[in-house]
Structure 1
Amino acid sequence: MIVNAFGQEAKVDGPKITFEETKHEFGDITQGDVVTHVFKFKNEGTAPLQLNNVRTTCGCTAPQWPKEAIMPGETSEIKVVFNSRGKRGLQNKVITIYSNAVNNTETVKIVTNVLMPKQETE
């Protein structure tokens, strides 16, 4: 919320992206598991919101995002798929969202602990 000198809430001029959550924890998963999470967001601005790009810190994390504009007041989502193959231990993956919003660069993250698979006993 932006407050002007008179103590009143000022309207955001242009698109503004706001996420329901900025971090999701999967907890413990087993190496090789593929997990998915959806980050929901809303355009709380006064103009159409356009996501220009969504980047991740690693090829193991794949984002899917809307290519069409999100109108003021509308909601949409970014789907993130994490493949734990070859990973172990605590994983903290940052997803950076680039848009035409007044807050044009935002980040969300996923966190998980990748456990080694249990060895089969014969």
Structure 2
Amino acid sequence: MKKVMILLSAVCLISLSSCKQDAAAKIDANNVAAASERDAQSGKLPVIEFDKKEHDFGEIVSGTPVETVFTYTNKGEAPLVITDIKSTCGCTVPQDWSRAPLAVGESDSFTVKFNGKGANKTSKVINITANTATGKESVKITAFITPDPNAPVKQAPLRTNPNANPGPLTQ
């Protein structure tokens, strides 16, 4: 076993010492120029600016679908790429957004559809994943949902309490 280890060590030592070529000779000046340009560009990021960060649908009847459009502009120094838009629940669906790079100064938009289910004050957050400095941006929708007046009224089940006092005892 010792002989195998010594032989393996000798082979490794020979192979490592035989690769003593000058590393500086392998550097390509074109690659250095491209890398310095890339590094200079890496400090330039897109900045997403929304026409509104929150949309209030006001008062809506439960079950009424509503939608709004969020418009955004690239105010940064590099193309903006949105890779994903998701909501915090399945009742809110973002759609119609472009995955193509958005040039500096250009605008685009996406639609958010909300199914209007729920009760009372409701708010939902839509998260945007993009190549901005933070990597995540968000917008919000809110609504006050009132009960549907045409919906059938649900009857509460009658409950009987076996421990209830049946009344005064007579003697």
* TM superposition score category, shorter chain reference: 0.7 to 0.9
Which sections of structure 2, spanning at least 5 residues, go unmatched?
Answer: 1-42, 152-171
Aligned to 1:37: 68
Higher gyration radius (CA): 2
**Larger proportion of strand:** 1
Identical positions, percent = 35
- Between the aligned partners of 1:52 and 1:90, the Cα distance in structure 2 is 30
Which sections of structure 1, spanning at least 5 residues, go unmatched?
Answer: 1-11
- Between the aligned partners of 1:75 and 1:103, the Cα distance in structure 2 is 20
Aligned to 1:76: 108
- Between the aligned partners of 2:46 and 2:150, the Cα distance in structure 1 is 52
- Between the aligned partners of 1:24 and 1:56, the Cα distance in structure 2 is 14
- Please give the per-residue CA displacement for 1:70-111, whole angstroms capped at 9, x wherever unaligned: 1110001121000023x1111100001110112421110000
For residue 54 of structure 2, the aligned residue among 23, 31, 43 is 23
Which one scores higher on RCO, CA 8 angstroms, separation ≥ 6? 1
The TM-score, its normalising length taken from structure 2, stands at 0.60
- Between the aligned partners of 1:69 and 1:25, the Cα distance in structure 2 is 29
State the AA in 2 paired with 1:79: T
- 1:1-122 alignment to 2 at 5 Å? 13-64=44-95, 65-85=97-117, 87-119=118-150
Runs of 4+ with >3 A deviation: none
- Between the aligned partners of 2:150 and 2:144, the Cα distance in structure 1 is 18
Question: Cα distance, 1:32 vs. partner?
Answer: 1.0
The TM-score, its normalising length taken from structure 1, stands at 0.83
Name the SS of the counterpart of 1:46 in structure 2: coil
